[in-house]
Amino acid sequence: MKAIAFSNNDMAVIAWTLGGKLKGCLGFAITRIDVLAGTETPLPAMATFKGQAAGPGRTTFVDPIQKFFWKDVTAIRGRTYRYRVVPMGGTPGNLKPLPYGPLLSNQIQLTPDYGALSVYFNRGILATQSTANVLEATPGGGKLVDKLQTHIYKIGDPLRNDLAGEMIAALTTLPKEAAQTGAALQCAFYELDDPEVIACLKPLQRSLNLILSNMPGEDANHQKTNDVYAPERADMKAAGVKVIDRFMASNHIGHNKFQVLLQSGKPTVALFGSTNVTAHGLCAQTNNTIIARSPAVANVYSDYWARLKKDTLAPGPKITGPQAKPLRSADAKGLATVDLEDGSGTIDIWFSPNTPKARSSKPPADEACPPDLQELFDLIGKAQQSIVFLVFEPGYPSIIDAIAAAQKARPTLFVRGAVTAANAAGEFYAAIHDGEVPVKTPRKGDPPLPEDFRVIHTTGVTKGDAFAQWKQELNRAGNAVVHDKIVVIDPFTDHCVVAMGSHNDGYKASYNNDENLNIIKGHRSAAEAYAAHCLDVYDHYAWRYWLETRKSKAWHFLASDDAWQDAYFAADNTVKSAELAFWLSATPKSEALPTPHAEGSTRNRPALQLLTGGLSPAVGPHSLKPARHGKFAAKRRRGEGR
């Protein structure tokens, strides 16, 4: 019998078991206990029994949860919680607690801060009923996507703030600290148009050194251009910012999105992840960002920034970012393995392009695997428990092929992933079922590609799918739905791995693009946070996947007897639900820690807690207090110094 909880900065996951199927149990009521406030609140209900009317104010004591794990997306960021799980019996409309239980979970806090690393996730899922309701109520008529634009580009708009979550705070943290302390800031961006972030960057003027790549596309007048963000580029230059124009050849992109803070000329903090500095990156895609308060990490990123600058030619008729041999050679040989100063884990940091030459337009069958992906593929192949992931459009070959191979080699491996590109999901299906890969993207009018439920592409409730009170959803506002580039391996073990950054996890990114790929090892708190995010996004789109594939059979009312549990337990009461087994495989070690304060977290990190007297983090997300760092090391493979 146990109940366990996990969290990141945005949501919590609770999983529980009372040892098997419970006779007469019609579901569970869950209450959220605010540890600091001393209050206890029932979680809201999401479904009803047949014949009951859904409406506001209903709780899980009336409409119980007929699952053994649940997401709390109504929890408030920064709060510290425990969860009480109450088995409910009786009859629909007359439920009562059963005479066993309840279960009480461990203590968690919705915080981005895990010592040296602060990990942020946004809420950029457009395909929700809440967003559909807001857009429907927006005056003016027109397309849903046009209505969305009026919200996400308006600073302070409630929908913008809800979708972006704390990602706005993340992307503006280092510019604000630079302004407050007189520090310098190095940035390398692929896209730039978010008004709130730009408002924090422009006042830095000459203290900001910005490498801004070009992006082909359409301008505001829907005309083709090689530089979509030309107006923002000119605006930054007019404000006095040192802008380095890095224009790339066709089929190459300067895809980085990182910042480095330099105090008295020395790199001290780095920010990196998948989030482009645009309103769409903040609000209309799922994304993640890490702020590393680590001089070792910051030094590695600052060195790469300098290499990019050196590789960038003066503006002229030719490309200015040639990705010449010195950059490629340094990226290939320059893997940095950083021991985080608080002892919480290590990071292997890769940059690209890291191959001798750009990719051929018709790659050979024996195309060499890039060194960064070779490390990641090897780690995927060694997975023992689970692989969960989110990816945009990785191409071929990519992590999809490596994960499919790992699944075939170890059928008991728990694999779940969500992708934007339908052909990526189709490729996993083909690889698992010995089909032909790579899989071609379907043309208009072609039948949809087959998909395995373990790896699905993203889709919302369409006009044809809408039923009862459910409305048509806006699935995307641009190319990306999932824009994360995340692989999480064995998150509940000491050998856990998180791979994240700007890298799209396929060959093309390593061969042709300016990218960063960060392979975080042994940092269990970060791995748990990333796993919660991946399963949150997967779970959201999994129901819509079943709605698309099963149509009317995907929706049903709550069961009026205890047979709903048969999906979770076998006849001998062993867990047969792979996802429940995944969550129950972990035991958070947080019970004995002190009650956290507003900046505290309860995750078990012995080295960090030794530094902080049992509380973490040593440095808050926006704090300018000095950190108590120990010695750090940045060592390069093959014994080279940095």
* Measured distance CA(437)–CA(443) in Å, rounded: 17
On whether residue 633 sits in a domain, the answer given is no
Is the pLDDT reported for residue 170 higher than 70? yes
CB 260 within 8 A of CB 288: no
| Residue that the structure tokens 């422009």 belong to | 202
Q: Report the number of distinct structural domains present in the chain.
A: 2
One domain, residues 282 and 390: yes
On whether residue 583 sits in a domain, the answer given is yes
On whether residue 305 sits in a domain, the answer given is yes
Helices and strands counted in the chain (H then E) = 16, 28
One domain, residues 118 and 260: yes
Residue 139, preceding peptide bond in cis (omega within 30° of 0): no
Contacts of 299 (CB under 8 A, 6+ apart): 267, 634, 642
On whether residue 637 sits in a domain, the answer given is no
One domain, residues 190 and 205: yes
Residues 297-306: what's their mean pLDDT?
Answer: 98
pLDDT confidence of residue 57: 83
Percentage of the chain with pLDDT > 70?
A: 89
* Mean pLDDT value across the chain: 89
On whether residue 553 sits in a domain, the answer given is no
On whether residue 548 sits in a domain, the answer given is no
pLDDT confidence of residue 51: 85
| CATH code, 565 | 2.60.40
One domain, residues 588 and 442: no
Residues 273-295: what's their mean pLDDT?
Answer: 98
pLDDT confidence of residue 28: 97
List of long-range contacts for 408-413, beta carbons under 8 Å, 24+ apart = 408/432, 409/381, 410/383, 410/384, 413/383, 413/384, 413/385, 413/386, 413/387
Give residue 425's domain range: 113-359+367-540
Is the pLDDT reported for residue 618 higher than 80? no
One domain, residues 59 and 120: no
On whether residue 546 sits in a domain, the answer given is no
One domain, residues 172 and 225: yes
pLDDT confidence of residue 543: 80
pLDDT 10s digits, 221-275 = 889 999 999 999 999 999 999 999 999 999 999 999 999 999 999 999 999 999 9
Residues 321-349: what's their mean pLDDT?
Answer: 95
Binned at pLDDT 50, 70 and 90, residue 625 comes out as very low
One domain, residues 504 and 572: no
One domain, residues 471 and 572: no
Please name every residue paired with 302 in a beta bridge, in sequence order, or none if there are none: none
Of 611 and 391, the structure prediction assigns the larger pLDDT to: 391
| Residue that the structure tokens 């890969």 belong to | 437
Binned at pLDDT 50, 70 and 90, residue 551 comes out as low
| Cα dihedral 633→120→191→622 (10° resolution) | -70
One domain, residues 527 and 492: yes
On whether residue 623 sits in a domain, the answer given is no
One domain, residues 479 and 600: no
| CATH code, 472 | 3.30.870.10
One domain, residues 588 and 528: no
Percentage of the chain with pLDDT > 90?
A: 76
Contacts of 317 (CB under 8 A, 6+ apart): none
- Report the candidate in 79, 260, 288, 255 with the shortest Cα–Cα distance to residue 173: 260
One domain, residues 506 and 564: no
* Measured distance CA(494)–CA(497) in Å, rounded: 9
Of 253 and 1, the structure prediction assigns the larger pLDDT to: 253
pLDDT 10s digits, 182-214 = 999 999 999 999 999 999 999 999 999 999 999
Least confidently predicted of 154-163, 350-359, 475-484, 572-581: 572-581
